[in-house]
């Protein structure tokens, strides 16, 4: 087990990529804090992790709130004993073409995706700095690297998250804290499954690997960065996109 007895906190972990990440980290020996705005779904994830023989707690947290992020870290340390790994996965979309995008559309996505990650990161590094050890993985996106029509807010939030990742890595490397990002491409999710067949095929045709990614593909990248296999890697962006952006 690569993460035996480590404590990992994963935001947005009640479903999708976040849940897949949490389950894989648990399979590798980590105990988990499952963070989400949907507490019922978070508790279901906790049950699955406990069935693997690991400890887990569920916390309802709005990552936009600095106070809630601080309490989240405190509660995790009290319940599980430490905080070794933070995965900033919580995120939303409000897709519209730029000229049709409202202030609310912009602010909501930036507040959750970028400010939320900042709030969680700032709270976590206070604990990690005292331990002089820690590992932060931010879930960015291919569109933070290449842009995407109709996603000005989402692209900007993910590009900002990459900048936050690199700055955090520089500021905290001397304290034993690593910070990296994962940038998934187009992943096979409920959203892509709902696309018309022709639109889905057109999307896949742009990917050299000729398939959409899976949540497991992303989770394996997170596990690599969370483990000692990547002990000399910090400030980097791991692109998991089937070659769509190189």
Please, how many CA atoms are within 13 Å of residue 66, restricted to the half-sphere of its CB? Answer: 3
Contacts of 129 (CB under 8 A, 6+ apart): 172, 175, 177
The DSSP output letter for 133 is -
Contacts within 8 Å (CB) and 24+ apart, 169-173: 169/234, 169/235, 170/235, 172/125, 172/128, 172/129, 172/134, 173/234, 173/235
The whole-angstrom separation of Cα 27 and Cα 53 is 9
Contacts of 145 (CB under 8 A, 6+ apart): 159, 162, 183, 237, 239, 245
Q: How far is CA 90 from CA 19, 81, 86, 131, in A?
A: 11, 23, 12, 25
pLDDT at residue 189, rounded to an integer? 82
- Provide the strand spans (E) within 12-123: 31-36, 56-60, 85-88
The whole-angstrom separation of Cα 229 and Cα 41 is 31
pLDDT digits (tens, 9 = 90+) for 168-186: 999 999 999 999 999 999 9
Location of structure tokens 């400030």: 235
Q: What residues form DSSP beta bridges with 86? A: 9, 136
Report the run of H or E that residue 135 belongs to, with start and end: strand 134-139
| Domain parsing of the chain, residue ranges | 7-237
The whole-angstrom separation of Cα 168 and Cα 39 is 30
Q: In the numeric block, which tokens belong to residue 49?
A: 């992790």
Classified by CATH at the fold level, domain 7-237 comes out as: Rossmann fold (3.40.50)
* Active-site residue list: 154
Q: In the numeric block, which tokens belong to residue 57?
A: 């707690």
Q: What parts of the chain have a pLDDT lower than 70?
A: 191
Query: pTM score, two decimals?
Result: 0.97
pLDDT at residue 180, rounded to an integer? 98
């Amino acid at each position: 087990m690569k993460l035996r007895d480590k404590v990992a906190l994963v935001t947005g972990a009640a479903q999708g990529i976040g849940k897949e990440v949490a389950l894989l980290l648990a399979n590798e020996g980590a105990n988990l804090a499952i963070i989400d705005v949907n507490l019922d779904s978070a508790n279901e994830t906790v049950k699955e992790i406990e069935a693997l023989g690991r400890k887990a707690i569920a916390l309802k947290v709005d990552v936009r709130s600095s106070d809630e992020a601080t309490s989240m870290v405190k509660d995790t340390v009290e319940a599980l004993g430490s905080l070794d790994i933070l995965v900033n996965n919580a995120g939303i979309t409000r897709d519209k073409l730029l000229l049709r995008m409202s202030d609310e559309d912009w602010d909501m996505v930036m507040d959750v995706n970028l400010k939320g990650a900042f709030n969680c990161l700032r709270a976590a590094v206070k604990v990690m700095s005292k331990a002089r050890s820690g590992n932060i993985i931010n879930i960015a996106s291919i569109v933070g690297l290449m842009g995407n029509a109709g996603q000005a807010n989402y692209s900007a939030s993910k590009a900002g998250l990459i900048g936050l990742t690199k700055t955090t890595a520089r500021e905290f490397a001397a304290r034993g804290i690593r910070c990296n990002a994962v940038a998934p491409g187009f992943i096979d999710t409920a959203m892509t499954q709902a696309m018309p067949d022709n639109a889905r095929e057109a999307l896949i045709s742009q990917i050299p690997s000729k398939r959409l990614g899976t949540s497991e593909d992303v989770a394996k990248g997170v596990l690599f960065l969370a483990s000692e296999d990547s002990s000399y890697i910090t400030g980097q962006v791991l692109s998991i996109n089937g070659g769509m952006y190189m």
